[in-house]
A and B are shown apart, each in its own frame.
Chain A
Amino acid sequence: MSHPEEDLGELEELDAIVDVLVDSAPPGSHDQERRHSITSDEEDALSAAGAIAVLRRGLAATPELRQGVVLTLALAVATALGKLAVPILIQQILDRGVFGKDGYRPGFVAAACCGAAVGIIALYFISRATFLRLVRSAEASLLGLRVRTFHHIQRLSLADHVEQRRGALVARVTSDVETLAQFTEWGAVAWIVDTVLIVTTVAVMVVYSPPLAAVAVAVFLPLLPALGYLQRRQLAAYDELRTAVGGTLSEVSELVTGASVVQAYGLQRRTRRRLDRAARTQYKAQMGAAKWFAVMFPLSDFFGALALATVISVGALNGPAWGLDLGKLVAFVFLVNLLLGPIAELSEILDQTQTAIAGWRKILGVLATPIDVTEPENGITLPTGPLAVDFEDLRFTYRTGGEVLRGINLHLPAGAYVAVVGETGSGKTTIAKLLCRLADPTAGTLRVGGIDLRQVAPESRRSTVRMVPQDGFLFDTTIAENVRVGAPETSDAAIQSAFDSLGLGGWLEDVPGGLHAPVGERGGSLSVGERQLVALARAQLGNPGLLVLDEATSSVDPKTEQALSEALERLTAGRTVVNIAHRLSSAERADLVVVVDNGNVVETGTHAELVAAGGTYATLYSSWLGNTRVLRDD
């Protein structure tokens, strides 16, 4: 068994940070802040825009694609000529090489065949070259689009990272770009190539016999709407199938993630029933989709046969009167067949086109999201040493949520240890975010060291204001690299001494591999507490004048807990500290306690003053006392 104690710790920590930053899967403890994160998953500025608008804006966002359109046209013409060569050759040979007025002309036949063969080979090389250039230009533009989108997402304020799910953001730069890649190299090419092929084939028909061409086109016309109808039904069936597969997956996922509950409560038969039901629904959906899939191709086959029968009948009965030759009529047989392929393909890529346009729309939506936090030109450098913090009528509202901070006025003296306490959803984590300028206040000003945070140069702000986040997120690399992050030139010795100065040298020695120990994905090889130790060392290295601590909500094992509180003590010495406190023991030792409730500061003072005042803080404190001390004291 793994140690569930620790797992829960991770879950909760994660959960709490998730509330601050980004949304993720359930286990939640902060429903209030979570609400708005769920709402706007796929909503974006362009959701109402039609396909044409998406195309126009998309082309504007990726100018490299224009070149691709020209290349594709060239490719389309080459492909069409290659395909039309055969029926034209058949007509020429029959009418002029075999059954012409001169009878059999082997020389003409040889010349025509060689000419056609050379032509087809030449067109092959042209197609190859064009296609290659097309792939190159498409890939170049997609790379650009992907990087631009990623960069834009990185620059979005944290408020946007709350609003949209992380998975959705990842999808913007992965699967959405992938669908677009698929589309530019298959779907979009098919659109153009097929259209050109249809147009040129009909053109050849018209040259041979305008009335017979009209007959052939007339028979084919109903195929397009019929295929369109089938396509829509098929899409709907696939939608249903996707939902059904999702249903099956969530049943399996409940069986797997809830295995302990299933076994502890003996729910095997109930689970089996539910799984069977889901599997049957999925099977029905699969067969529903299969039905449309089964009739899709036959429909084209049937229309092809109908067109062939019509062309042959009409041609045979009226051919001589319409000035047709034997070869031309035979060529028609092949031309009719040539039309079938592109028509069927066009109906199939409708689906892909819709997905691609939807993906494109989402990407453009992200690109259209304004960047709230913009860095100043010629920003001011903050002084070194502890800094005072001033809030002036500070307000903050999430884009999709309500007001979180409702006018905060506060002076935090330089060098003070300040504990911010309050219930979940009171707005205290938002204060931490604003202090690091992860978002700008909606109204009011926030001054650090007397300077409006918006005027501060970004490099200065990043080194002077340091946040130690409670989840202790680490990159999947070594401990040393994770401390070095943000200051790439730091030597190993300096990192070691940062750990030593926090009294963590002993802990580091116990880690197999020491500084160069890999921490695993998200830092998973270390415990929650240990990850925080690494974060503390990183903060120590930065020597910040203002330290923002977002305290862990869950318990850490006693040994690490002790190392953690010792290291914190050393780290906080001589700096202004704003501690988003979850433990009243932190509040007890603070120089100033700020109690936040529903977006307002309701009390400030020392621990002793606030307990004596008998307000919100006193209530919180006595309930906490009841839980931890009463028994030991009596």
Chain B
Amino acid sequence: MRRGGALLWLSVRAQAGPFALAIVGATLFAVMAVVGTVVIGRITDKVIIPAFEEGGVSNRAVALAAAAVIGASLLRIVGVVLRRYFGQMAQRRMQMLWFKRVTDRYLAVPLSWFDDQPTGQLLAHADADCERSTIAMQPLPFSIGVLIIIIVSMTLLAFVDPVLLAVAVCLFPGLALINKAYTKRVEGPAAATQARVGDVSAVAHESFEGTLLVKTLGLEAREVARLKEKADQLRQERLIVGRLRAGFEPGLDALPSLGTIALLWLGAGRLASGAITTGQLVQAMVLFGILAFPFRIVGFLLEELPRAVVANDRVQQVLVAPKRLLPTTTVALPTGPLDVVLDAVSFTHGPDAVLRDVSARVAPGEVVALVGATGSGKSTLCSLIAHLIDPDAGSVLIGGVPLPETDPVEFHRTTALVFQESFLFSDSVRENLSLGDDIDDDVIFAALDIAKARSFVERLPHGLDEKLGERGVTLSGGQRQRLSLARALLRQPRVLLLDDATSAVDATVERAILDGLRHSVAATTVIVAHRISTIALADRVLMLDGGRITAEGTHHELLAQPSYAALVRAYEQAPL
């Protein structure tokens, strides 16, 4: 609770302006709500009662009464609108602030940080968790208003009649307690219901995902039984919630009614003895009406607060993630082709050493193929050269400059890494290639030519402006890889890293791409290869095994080595 208070205080201070307006609105509403009951009471005494007496009531009194009722309402409206609108504004601005902080951190963390974070959770941190961190801000102004209503109306009742005050004092704290007991009891089953919904969803998901298996093996009955079991558990959990609600909801209607009846019973006596006026009795009853609901609002606040704290804890976990180190001073890269040097590089991921003491040099303009079994460290090596990760020991130099000392902007202009999983943005083809830079169509098409992507891009209904992804066309794996390749070539990199970047491209097309690369790109190139035709492109082959370079030389030289020959034989089995 103390942490909840701290979170709220922090949020309120950050959004002081809109929040203050929301409080003004809440106060205005609270005061006018109570004033409204006074108006009804006065009208009863001054208009309604005289109306049934000799001589009736003056038109002026009636008009005044109507004006008072409507005027009080208008002021309440101003209060509500202020409270709701600026309360929302404070909350949403705070949400935006958390969002900015979280996404800033996403942009600043090292790539490896993403490895053990499920995408769904990262999305939830930026969306739901930021929103929930602010959720307690919403009922706060109203809660403050409610406190004002309670204080003002109790004071007012005390002035009207101590007996009526006594009824209120007995009733409302009781109502608050019942409300609290209910939320507490329903919380567990309600959460359990959510979990059971998740179970049902998991069974349905798994079952539909394995349709092929389900159908070929005739598992329908088994699957239906599995779903039924989970759905029945959900139903039972819902019944528990239903039973609690069945007791509580009608009770929430009944209790204030009983209070009003008590008020009437005692009030009738007081009225007859002349201790109070009819108007005061009516006012007390209307007051009971407006007091019944607000206690729930305070309940909401108390309910939301722990949830907000939990959500904010998840946000804070993101905010303490370590940032990538940025160079303090930078060294400019030399002009012309660049060499790449790995100097006793080691890299460990979790408990496993991925690369052990690897040293190698790729000469300026040279094309080197990296081969090795799955998990031998090829991709890691590429990521190290692309400075996506830093080695645990040793250093990587490009053009003689250690990577940590290069200027990030210059480095990104110089090197390009094309991944095997070709990531494309849900945006136009052009945007995916230019990445926001202003680039001539000629340059784009030249790159598409080399990547053998031009013809299919031209066949798209909107050409370069075709939208890709969720709301656009779906490209095949090979087409996506070719676009990714074009994206890299477009930047005329001096160091080109291809991490199995053509694995999904048809064999014949791959050949054409590689030929094109050979003839038109003069970059220092490192290719991770799974196909012999790819290996053939290289001047030299480095073979990785268990994180070490175990062989080095041309393809023909290496064929003499049994381990290399075995690897090549395995590649031969490779799919089309």
Contact = CB atoms under 8 A, between A and B. Distances in A.
Interface in A556-596: 557-559, 561-562, 565, 582-585
A555 B576 CA distance: 10
A473 B213 CA distance: 8
A301 interface: yes
Contact of A82 (B223, B239, B253): B253
Nearest to A131: B246
B564 to A, nearest CB: 11
A65 B99 CA distance: 44
Given A469-B212, A631-B536, A317 B57 contact: yes
A220 interface: no
Contact of B426 (A1, A254, A465, A583): A254
B325 interface: no
Interface in A313-353: 313, 315-317, 319-320, 324-326, 329-330, 333-334, 337
A275 to B, nearest CB: 5
A266 B437 CA distance: 12
Interface string A443-480: 00000000000000011001001110101010110000
Which 5 residue pairs across A and B have the least CB separation, nearest first?
Answer: A305-B73, A135-B242, A266-B412, A486-B217, A104-B272
Contacts of B106: 252, 255-256, 259
Contact of A147 (B227, B272, B575): B227
A139 B239 contact: yes
B65 A309 contact: yes
A166 B211 CA distance: 10
Contact of A312 (B43, B103, B487): B43
A335 B478 CA distance: 71
Most buried by B among A21, A22, A94, A150: A150
B206 A475 contact: yes
Contacts of B218: 458-459, 462, 486
B285 interface: yes
A506 interface: no
A326 B52 contact: yes
A467 B216 contact: yes
A86 B211 CA distance: 59
B462 interface: no
B503 interface: yes
Interface in B87-108: 88-89, 92-93, 96, 99-100, 103-104, 106-108
A27 B480 contact: yes
Given A127-B250, A135-B246, A270-B435, A1 B112 contact: yes
A166 B212 contact: no
Nearest to A127: B250
A583 B576 contact: yes
Nearest to A280: B96
Given A124-B251, A268-B107, A624-B507, 12 more contacts: A1-B354, A1-B380, A28-B475, A34-B474, A79-B253, A98-B271, A120-B261, A139-B239, A257-B119, A262-B107, A275-B99, A467-B216
A614 B412 CA distance: 49
A511 interface: no
A28 B239 contact: no
B224 interface: yes
Nearest to A421: B576
A458 B572 CA distance: 40
Interface stretch (B120-128, B184-192, B442-450): B120-128
A436 B215 CA distance: 9
Contact of A12 (B205, B224, B477, B533): B477
Contacts of A15: 477
A248 B102 CA distance: 13
A632 B573 contact: no
Contacts of A317: 51, 56-57, 59, 62
Nearest to A293: B84
Contacts, number: 482
Contacts of B356: none
A120 B251 CA distance: 10
Interface string B191-230: 0000001001100111111111111111110011001100
B575 A554 contact: yes
Most buried by B among A254, A260, A459, A476: A260
B81 A294 contact: yes
Contact of A294 (B85, B208, B477): B85
Contacts of A166: 205, 208-209
Given A131-B245, A298-B77, A304-B73, A31 B260 contact: no
B122 A252 contact: yes
Interface residues of B, number: 167
A67 interface: no
Interface stretch (A170-178, A202-210, A401-409): A170-178
A261 B419 contact: yes
A632 B123 CA distance: 49
A290 interface: yes
B92 A290 contact: yes
Contact of A153 (B208, B243, B253, B388): B208
Nearest to B215: A438
A131 to B, nearest CB: 4
Interface stretch (A109-117, A226-234, A386-394): A109-117
A298 B80 contact: yes
Given A252-B123, A290-B85, A628-B531, A173 B573 contact: no
Contacts of B349: 1
Nearest to B468: A26
Contacts of A334: 285-286, 289
Contact of A583 (B469, B474, B536, B575): B575
B499 interface: yes
B489 to A, nearest CB: 13
B55 to A, nearest CB: 11
A199 interface: no
Interface stretch (B161-169, B297-305, B371-379, B393-401): B371-379
6 contacts: A4-B499, A89-B261, A140-B235, A266-B408, A297-B84, A467-B216
B425 interface: yes
Interface in A1-20: 1-8, 11-12, 15, 17, 20
B63 interface: yes
Contact of B421 (A7, A31, A324, A522): A7
Interface stretch (A55-63, A154-162, A412-420): A154-162
Nearest to A113: B265
Interface string B45-60: 0011101100011010
A93 B247 CA distance: 30
Given A255-B103, A475-B210, A93 B504 contact: no
A128 B243 CA distance: 8
A89 B260 CA distance: 10
Contacts of B235: 139-140, 142-143
Interface in B408-467: 408-409, 411-412, 415-417, 419-421, 423, 425-426, 435-436
Given A1-B380, A174-B200, A316-B51, A256 B212 contact: no
A153 to B, nearest CB: 7
B532 to A, nearest CB: 5
A317 B209 CA distance: 73
A136 B242 contact: yes
B492 interface: no
Nearest to A555: B574
Contacts of A270: 435-436
A143 B107 contact: no
A263 B408 CA distance: 10
A29 B111 CA distance: 27
Given A136-B239, A309-B65, A623-B508, A143 B246 contact: no
B264 A90 contact: yes
B503 A154 contact: no
A545 B566 CA distance: 35
A211 to B, nearest CB: 15
Contacts of A139: 235, 238-239, 242
A181 B238 contact: yes
Interface string A172-216: 011000100100010000000000000000000000000000000
